[in-house]
Amino acid sequence: MWIFLVLGIAWALKGYIHPNTAPSLQIFISRSQLGNIPGEVMIAIGLIYNGLLFALGILTAGLQKASGEVLPRYGELPVLGTLLGGTDKTGKAGAAPARGPVGRFLRRRQQLVALIICADPETVARHVGRDLKRGVTALHGTGMYTHLEREVLLVVVTVTEMPLLKATVKAADPNAFVVVMPAQEVLGKGFQPLAEE
């Protein structure tokens, strides 16, 4: 927004001072003319364009913390096979996900570890497996304040799957306690390969 504001001010100042300072508003408006398009129309277009940019910036300011608006929620990106020359075993272009450093960079999303403490771990684990197609591991834990024994569910997901995981856990157990941590690296099926092919 600020870049376009500076550009707009520069455009207006250029029209005002070049080739010399405009003595009146009418001359300033006439200098804004572009070919056969009158200066009034050009100024109106500039105001509308920059106004829309500002409105778009203000209305979408809260989306900068959203996840999943660009990358797909699950799976690989087979279209990259076409873009980067990937082929499957039959030689069909684009049928395989992109390979190599570029493909791994483009496929990789931030990975998160979620610890879920809940009263009904079986139901939560079943819902997570059904809705996210992710494995769940149960770790035994004891609340040191309440001294209640609970199963702590460990789930590894990508950042684009986290909103669905939260919704799934809430639907299965609204009183669940969820701790989300970034994972430095996750190796295995569904994430990066454990060994290079």
- The fold of the 110-197 domain, in CATH, is Alpha-Beta Plaits (3.30.70)
The conformation of residue 25, written as its DSSP 8-state character, comes to: H
Given a cut of 60, whether residue 105 has pLDDT beyond it is: no
For residue 172, the tally of other CB atoms under 10 A from its CB is 20
- Of 92 and 185, the structure prediction assigns the larger pLDDT to 185
Which sequence spans correspond to the domains of the chain? Answer: 2-65, 110-197
The DSSP bridge partners found for residue 152 are 117, 139
- Tell me the chain's radius of gyration from C-alpha atoms: 27
Could you tell me how many residues make up the chain?
A: 197
- Of 115 and 97, the structure prediction assigns the larger pLDDT to 115
Q: What is the pLDDT of residues 112-144, one digit of tens each?
A: 899 999 888 999 999 999 988 888 999 988 888
Rounded average pLDDT over 95-110: 49
Q: Average model confidence (pLDDT) for the chain? A: 76
111 falls in which pLDDT band (50, 70, 90)?
confident
Q: From the centroid of its chain, how far is CA 41?
A: 38
190 falls in which pLDDT band (50, 70, 90)?
low
Q: Report cis status (omega within 30 of 0) of the bond before 182.
A: no
**pLDDT on residue 115:** 94
Q: Which of 95, 93, 134 lies closest to 116 in space, CA to CA?
A: 134
